[in-house]
Amino acid sequence: MRIRVATAEDLPALKALIPLSARALSRGYYSEEQTEGAIRHVFGPDSRLIADGTYFAAEEDGELAGCGGWSRRRTLFGGDQMKAAEDPLLDPATEAARIRAFFVHPAFARRGVGSAILGACMDAARAAGFRRMELASTLPGVPLYEAFGFEKREPIDVPLPDGVVLPVIRMERALDG
């Protein structure tokens, strides 16, 4: 498996992977209505992460196996379809970097893709001077993040425009030296 920085040329493949991942890996955690609402209103590529060089693609045998990133910006979650125009930079000395938009192709699930991307994100955030990381995890992502030392802080109910509520968990961890 190869982890590399995603580029704008990856956007079509990312846009295809994200709903595929969400539909397959959210079963048993979210209703079909919640999953489809999240795909429409929340889940999607964040082109600012790609422009910042903080979004990664995992490839195996030339296939996109997964994606995910970290951010030095204030937004906690969501793709381009839900972001405000402003997304100010965080202060690494006092604020936590964000883990953002992790999706794994169902054919590559449970094979270390998410772990490899998360490790790359943590290393990059640490190198950028961040001391802490936080994220809003979907319910199926919680076990991965807990395995990396993230602790649950609070549940968040994300109201979607179609009236559906998507529960996520805000999680946090320190970045050791």
Q: Is 4 helix (H, G, I), strand (E, B) or coil?
A: strand
Residue 55 has pLDDT above 80, yes or no: yes
CA 23 to chain centre: 15
Residue 17 has pLDDT above 90, yes or no: yes
Which tokens belong to 111?
């094979």
Residue 77 confidence (pLDDT):
86
| DSSP notation for 102-160 | EEE-GGGTTTTHHHHHHHHHHHHHHHTT--EEEEEEEGGGHHHHHHTT-EEEEEEEEE-
Judged by average pLDDT, the poorest of 47-51, 74-78, 123-127, 169-173 is 74-78
Mean pLDDT of 7-17: 97
In b/e form, how buried is each residue of 78-99, taking b as 16+ CB within 10 angstroms?
Answer: bbeebbeeeeeebebeeebbbb
Tell me the pLDDT tens digit for each residue of 123-150. 999 999 999 999 999 999 999 999 999 9
Residue 78 confidence (pLDDT):
84
Residue given tokens 């490790």 in the structure block: 119
Mean pLDDT of 15-24: 97
**Whether domain 2-75+89-174 has CATH 3.40.630.30:** yes
Cβ distance 106 to 21 under 8 Å? yes
Tell me the pLDDT tens digit for each residue of 56-104. 999 999 999 999 999 999 988 888 776 666 789 999 999 999 999 999 9
Residue 87 confidence (pLDDT):
85
Helix axes 32-41, 11-25, angle to 10 degrees: 160
| DSSP notation for 58-76 | EEETTEEEEEEEEESBS--
CA distance 107 to 78: 24
Domain map of the chain by residue range? 2-75+89-174
Residue 116 has pLDDT above 80, yes or no: yes
Instruction: List residues bridging with 89 in a β-sheet.
Output: 73
Residue 147 confidence (pLDDT):
97
Residue 177 has pLDDT above 90, yes or no: no
CA distance 85 to 30: 29
Instruction: List residues bridging with 2 in a β-sheet.
Output: 59
